[in-house]
Amino acid sequence: MKTFKTLFFSGLLLLQAAIIPAQTADQIIEKYLAAIGGRDMLKKVNSVYIESTVDAMGMQMPQKITILNGVGYKQEIDVMGSLLVNCFGASSGWTINPFAGMTSAENMPENQYKEGKDQIYIGAPFSVIKEKGYKLELAGNEDVKGISAAKVKLTSSDGVTTFHYFDPQTGFLIKSLQQGEMEGQPVEITVMYEDYKTVEGLMIPFRTYTSIGSMFEMNNTVTKVEINKPVDPSVFIKP
């Protein structure tokens, strides 16, 4: 009788699990957006300003990121007194890279612009998936540091494909993966997201770890965040 009861309740649990519908890719994205503050909160955020320290190649480099929603995204890294800049606008981008011989602003390569252009939107790309014509697919689950993460494939209207991994418990994004290029060679770019903290209602990962194939690794630690700081749109204009 005891064995029968055990089998009965085990079967009941399996039946309950079977009738619980699996999450769709859309539901995973909505859970993520809710986890970082919710769509209503995101609509109230006009700008995000972040200061951080980048640790790479034995050096610690100050970094500043400025986002004005729908207008521009600007990244500035001070590398031993030389400023590396990547800036995206609504229709084009520009860059300054003294380590590649570019000491003044030059137009951003088309592929680089396509891969990062939607960073001008707060919460992107997940907050603008429908508006920007992204294709969303559920790609199963994959282990990420002991977490059975939900894997979502995202394809932009320009054909840029990225994979994103979400913690099913918290809803947070914990890993992103895409194909890129470095020194003319195709590479796999992996970004890990950790230490989420709330800043004025918006959840932000205060630590990220980036690896570009086996060629380069970079750790980033956030030191300051300002939400809705006044931003002059002219900072995104190519000098």
* Residue 17 belongs to some domain of the structure: no
Confidence of residue 179 (pLDDT cuts 50, 70, 90): confident
Give burial (CB, 10 Å; 0-12/13-18/19+) of 15: exposed
* Residue 137 belongs to some domain of the structure: yes
Average pLDDT score over residue span 52-68: 96
Q: Are 150 and 136 in contact (CB under 8 A)?
A: no
Q: Are 71 and 93 in contact (CB under 8 A)?
A: no
* Residue 1 belongs to some domain of the structure: no
Please list, in sequence order, all residues whose beta carbon lies within 8 angstroms of the beta carbon of residue 81, skipping any fewer than 6 positions away. Answer: none
pLDDT score, position 218: 94
pLDDT score, position 182: 64
Confidence of residue 92 (pLDDT cuts 50, 70, 90): very high
* Residue 100 belongs to some domain of the structure: yes
Mean pLDDT of the chain: 90
pLDDT score, position 238: 96
Number of domains in the chain: 1
Average pLDDT score over residue span 120-134: 96
CATH number at residue 208: 2.50.20.10
* Residue 119 belongs to some domain of the structure: yes
- For residue 90, report the phi and psi dihedrals to the nearest 5 degrees: -70, -25
Domain that holds residue 171: 24-236
Average pLDDT score over residue span 220-239: 97
pLDDT tens per residue, range 94-120 = 999 988 888 899 999 998 999 999 999
* Residue 97 belongs to some domain of the structure: yes
Structure tokens at 101: 């011989």
Average pLDDT score over residue span 122-147: 96
* Residue 203 belongs to some domain of the structure: yes
Please list, in sequence order, all residues whose beta carbon lies within 8 angstroms of the beta carbon of residue 148, skipping any fewer than 6 positions away. Answer: 141, 142, 168
* Residue 229 belongs to some domain of the structure: yes
Task: For residue 114, give the H/E element and its range.
Answer: helix 110-116
State the pTM of this model. Answer: 0.87
pLDDT score, position 213: 82
Helix (H, G, I), strand (E, B) or coil at 183: coil
Question: 69: which DSSP letter?
Answer: T
Please list, in sequence order, all residues whose beta carbon lies within 8 angstroms of the beta carbon of residue 40, skipping any fewer than 6 positions away. Answer: none
